[in-house]
Every structure is written in C-alpha cells, then in structure tokens.
Amino acid sequence: MPCSGPWQPLCTSGCDTGSVTQPTNSRLRTGAAVALVAYSAVVVALTMLKAFFVIGMLWRPEAQRNRSLEWVPFALYRDSTTWFGPLFDYLGNMAFFVPVGVLLYILLEHRRRAMALVVVVGLLASATVETLQYLFALGHSDVSDLLFNAVGAGVGAVIARLAGRRLYPVWIGLALVAAGVFAVLVILGPRLGDPDKVVEMATAQAATGVSSARP
C-alpha cells in the first residue's frame, strides 16, 4: 500500500518504507557510533599495540613483537594438557567482540538482515586485525580468533535485539565507560605493577615464611 495520497490516513508502521524497522533516533545513533569508535580503539590497542604500552605486569612489551600464523581451528587443544585453558581463551575472544556486535546492531538495525550484516562486519574487522598482526609482526594470528570474534559479534547482535531499544543507552554508556577505564589504565601503565614493589613483597613474604619456620 502506498503511504501517500488517499491512502495516507490508513498508513501504519507496516507500510512499505524500504526498511525492516524504523531507524533509531539520530542521538542514539551518534552515541553508538562514538562508543563503537572508542571501543574499537580498545580492541586495536589490545590486539596490535601491546608492544608499545603495558598495564601493570600483565605482559612484557618486548615479547609482543612476533609473527606467527595458525590456520588450524581449535589448535590450542592440540598442545594443551587441559581443556579449560583453550576454552577460556576462545570464550575470551568471543566476549571481546560482544560489545562490537551490540553497537553495530544499534547502527544497522534498520537494514535488511541486520544481524547477518553485523556478523559479516565483525568477521571483516577481525580478519583485518589478524592480517595486520601478521604483516607487522604484532602478535599471533589465529583462525580460531577470527571465528570466535565473529561469533561474539553475532551474540552481541542477538543481545541487542532481544533486550530491545530501551537498553540501547545502557549499552552505549557501558562501552564508553569501558573505553574510559581502559584509557586510565593505560595512563597509569607500569605504576600499577611496579617490579620493585613486587620483588619487595615477595622478599617480605619469603622472610616471613623463613622466620615463622624457625623454632
């Protein structure tokens, strides 16, 4: 039914407007775009830039400049002596991209097949990261990371769709808060894990243990 002329009074949200759902308002879309850029910066930093900064004692920057490639899915189980370690790694990669999927869905929900589109964009984004990691020797490139990142984006899209538009501001706010907290952690950097203090603590514990062991 056309939505003009004599039919206009009968038009409802079911009229053919060329999209599956009505787009979110411009303020929410702008917020989602800003949050996506901010969270994407976190993703880039933690996947390709760990050679240039450190948070506490979580990793050694000098050990991040390497190049390796794994084409076999679930290869971590090949050399692992436990099932939990690889599973934790894979679920971590999936969870890492859930916010990406949520924010992409907010931006793309008015498109046809929005959920499939979110998965495709998430897959392409992950493929770009893995490729750059290999080209510039910035980490380990693994096809399993690619798969679980795409799954994470899909899970995020499902969450955003099922939760509904009323929670869009919440997702946007959480993504911005996560990016802000990450920025603070980067600024604090090594001060969160001073090696001298770690040594002093270990020494103190050792001394306490020795003294308590004496009769």
pLDDT at 30 over 80: yes
- The answer as to whether 161 is a domain residue is yes
pLDDT recorded at residue 15: 43
Q: Which of 25, 41, 208, 57 is nearest to 125 (CA)?
A: 41
Q: What's the pLDDT at 77? A: 79
pLDDT in tens, 85-109: 888 999 999 999 999 999 999 999 9
Least confident of 62-76, 143-157, 177-191: 62-76
Give 9-69 as a DSSP string: GG--TTS--SSSSPPPPHHHHHHHHHHHHHHHHHHHHHHH-TTS---TTS--GGGS--EEE
Per-residue pLDDT reduced to its tens digit, 44-54: 999 999 989 98
Q: What is the mean pLDDT of residues 74-92?
A: 84
Query: For residues 130 and 143, what is the distance between their CA atoms, to the nearest angstrom?
Result: 8
Whole-number percent of the chain with pLDDT over 70: 78
Residue 208 within any structural domain of the chain:
no
The closest alpha carbon to 145, from 157, 129, 158, 134, belongs to: 129
- Residue indicated by tokens 């400049």: 65
Kindly state whether residue 4 falls inside one of the protein's structural domains: no
- For the chain, helix, strand, coil in percent to 5 are 70, 5, 25
pLDDT for 195 equals 54
Answer whether residue 8 shows pLDDT above 80: no
Q: Is residue 7 part of a domain?
A: no
Average pLDDT, the chain: 82
Number of domains comprising the chain? 1
Q: What percent of the chain clears pLDDT 90, i.e. is strictly above it?
A: 54
Is the residue at 128 inside a domain? yes
pLDDT at 97: 98
- Among 18-22, 167-171, 207-211, whose mean pLDDT is lowest? 207-211
What mean pLDDT is predicted for residues 140-164?
A: 96
pLDDT reported for residue 196:
53
Domain assignment present for 5: no
Residue 76 lies in a domain: yes
123-143 average pLDDT score: 93
Best CA proximity match to 124, nearest among 164, 97, 103? 97
pLDDT given for residue 23 in this prediction: 59
| Average pLDDT score over residue span 140-156 | 95
Tell me whether residue 82 is in a domain.
Answer: yes
Average pLDDT, integer, range 108-136 = 95
pLDDT over 90 (residue 9): no
Owning domain of residue 87? 24-202
